[in-house]
Structures are given as structure tokens and as C-alpha cells.
Amino acid sequence: MTDELLVYGSYGYTGALVAQTALDEGLSPVLAGRTAERVERQATDLGVDHRVFSLRHHEVVRRQVADFDAVLNCAGPFSQTADPLVSACLRAGTNYLDITGEIDVLEAIAERDPDAEDADVTLLPAVGFDVVPTDCLAAHLHTRLESATRLSLAIDGLGTFSPGTAKSIVEGLSTPGAVRQDGRIREVPAAWKTRRLDFGQGPKPAVTIPWGDVSSAYYTTGIPNVETYATVPEYAATVMAKSAALAPLLGAKPVQRALKAAIDATVSGPTAEERAQSASRVWGEVEDDEGNRATARLRTPDTYDLTARTAVESARRVLAGEVGAGFHTPASAFGPDYVLEFDGVEREDVGSGSEIGVSVPEE
């Protein structure tokens, strides 16, 4: 191998932040993507090397990634990009990272664990905002209550979206929600449960959302029951529950194409000033079968700024040989305190009384 790090999808909104952060941190990434003009312009502006290739032809992808010690995939939706890059990395002996938060993608990568161990390759997905803070909080809570059998995680403050994030959300419009029950992922309706949770500023309504932690937290902690939530306006839970009937329409290819075209035309991602003023909060709670609970909260900087920093630092540690072969989650690779190493992240252990109420659906 002649180079260390390939950043695929480097000219997207988040990919560009990752590329710049990598340079700022002293790495020399090679930038890559499928659109020559955009990659060339970005590489010229940053003064780094570049590659141009799509993910359609497996042998081409394998040859491209074989020159690198690690690939950091920033090209969403990851439902389309992760598998060809993971497969190529396994054949080439190249370590793989990405910033996905998609449950199906995480599950598919976890299934490649035996292949990764055989190939002496590290598979470390989800090194962005979702999942690093939530995964570390889950691991921390598990250390406080090792007998926990139930885990709930919630995010507040996701007010801005990049084009890639918006497209991932659009792809999810036609799919049901998801929770993990007794170790298995179960499909549930949209807004299946509603809770009022205190992120440190008073109770807010939150609904079940299929975050990546439904997958990753299980591998990190072994806790068999996992639910993930996001805060919503008061009226939104009812609207989300009623929208389930529209799922087939929203999943139709013409509708998906139209929605994604609209995103390309209208969504550019938050400005640097908007990111500087943005903050997110994470809430988590574990409970065991005896009714014992432990609760904690995190406060983080802007999701995109934190993603760039955690992704680059995770890649640096993989390049340094600090992560073994096989599939890993961020917290299983680096420990529950990993997220606290980044400026602006604060963690608070609280009592078990931060839940105000819960609306449980009928089975």
C-alpha cells in the first residue's frame, strides 16, 4: 500500500468537512468520488491527490481501495455505497470506516465480522454524530448498571440537515420504525411510542425513531431491548402516526426521485455560523428486571462539526493500528469516554427521574 487514507464522497457536505478536518489534523487524505469535476476542483483547492471512480464495477473499486490502509466512506445514502466499498476493502485488505446511522447498513456490516477477521481488516462504521455520542452514552450507562436489560436513547437538537442526511431521511419515509426486542430487531409503526424526556431544559415530547443505535448499541452493550427517540413538536407525533398509510406512495421510485431532486435543488447544509450556534443533547437510560435505573445526558457541539472530528480521529486511530480486525462500534473500539475527548462535549449523570411520562402502544 502506498497511501494511508482515502475519503470517498469527499465533495459532499459532510465529506468536505471531513476532508478539511483531516488536513487540519495533519493527515494527507486522498479525495475520491464519482464526479470528476467536483473531485478535481476540491483536490486542487486543498492541494491533495484525488481519485475518480464509481462503485458500479467491483474489480475497479477493489483496485482503487487496495492502494490505501483505510477508506473513510462519507457518501450517503449508505444503503447504496457501504456494501460495494466494504466488499472491496475485504478483498483488498483495506480497513473500512463510515459515518452511517442506518440500521440495515450497520446490521449488514456486523454480519461481515467473520470475513473481516479472516482478512485482518477493521470494519468500523458509524463514526459520526449518530452513532458516536449515543454509543458512548450507552456504554457508559451499561457500566453504571451492568444488569440492564433495557436501553432507551434520545436526541434533541437536530435542526439542520445536509443534502446527504436529507436523502437518507427520504429513503426512510417508506420504511417502518424499528426497535430491538429480546435481541432481535422488530419493525414497529412510525411514532410507535411517545415519551416526555428531560434533556436538561425541562421535559420535551419525543417519539420512537429508527436511529442506528437500534443496531449498534446491542453490539456495544449486549442489552437485548433498545429503543431510540427524537424530540418533535407537540403535534408531530400524531401526524407521524397517521402518515404510515402513505408509506407505499412515498417509497415509489418516481416519488423518491422527485424528492431527492428537490433536495439537490434546495438543501445546501448549515453555514459555518449556523453550526457554531448549534448544539445537540442526548439522553439515555438503562433499566434492569428489578426496576433499577441509571440515567445520563450529553451535550455536544453541532452534529456536523462533531462528525468531522470524530470521523477523522477514528480514522487516525485505525491507521495507527489501535483497533483490531473484525467489526466494531465506536464505543467497543475506543471505550465509553471516547466522546468526552472532543471539545464542547459534556456528560452528566442524573437520577432516574428524568422521564415524565410514556405512552405505550397496544400490542
At 175-193, the pLDDT tens digits run: 678 999 999 999 998 778 9
Side chain identity, residue 82? A
Higher pLDDT: 240 or 1? It is 240
pLDDT grade for 201, boundaries at 50, 70 and 90: confident
| CATH topology identical between 3-128+305-334 and 132-304+342-359 | no
User: What is the percentage of the chain residues whose pLDDT exceeds 70?
Assistant: 79
pLDDT for 271 equals 72
Q: What does the pLDDT average to over 215-219?
A: 98
Q: What does the pLDDT average to over 251-266?
A: 51
At 67-78, the pLDDT tens digits run: 999 999 999 989
pLDDT grade for 39, boundaries at 50, 70 and 90: very high
Spatial separation of the C-alpha atoms in residues 57 and 116, rounded to whole Å: 21
pLDDT for 254 equals 63
Q: What does the pLDDT average to over 286-303?
A: 96
At 332-341, the pLDDT tens digits run: 999 999 999 9
Pick the CATH number of 132-304+342-359 from 3.30.420.40, 2.60.40.10, 3.30.360.10, 3.40.50.620: 3.30.360.10
Second-level CATH architecture of 3-128+305-334: 3-Layer(aba) Sandwich (3.40)
Number of other residues whose CB lies within 10 A of the CB of residue 166: 20
pLDDT grade for 203, boundaries at 50, 70 and 90: very high
Does the structure show a pLDDT above 50 at 161?
no
Q: Where are the domains of the chain?
A: 3-128+305-334, 132-304+342-359
User: Are 115 and 43 within 8 A, CB to CB?
Assistant: no
CA distances from 218 to 36, 155, 231 (A): 39, 18, 22
pLDDT for 239 equals 53
At 46-92, the pLDDT tens digits run: 999 999 999 999 999 999 999 999 999 999 989 999 999 999 999 99
pLDDT for 277 equals 64
Query: For the CA atoms of the chain, what is the radius of gyration?
Result: 20
The residue assigned the cell 448549515 is 270
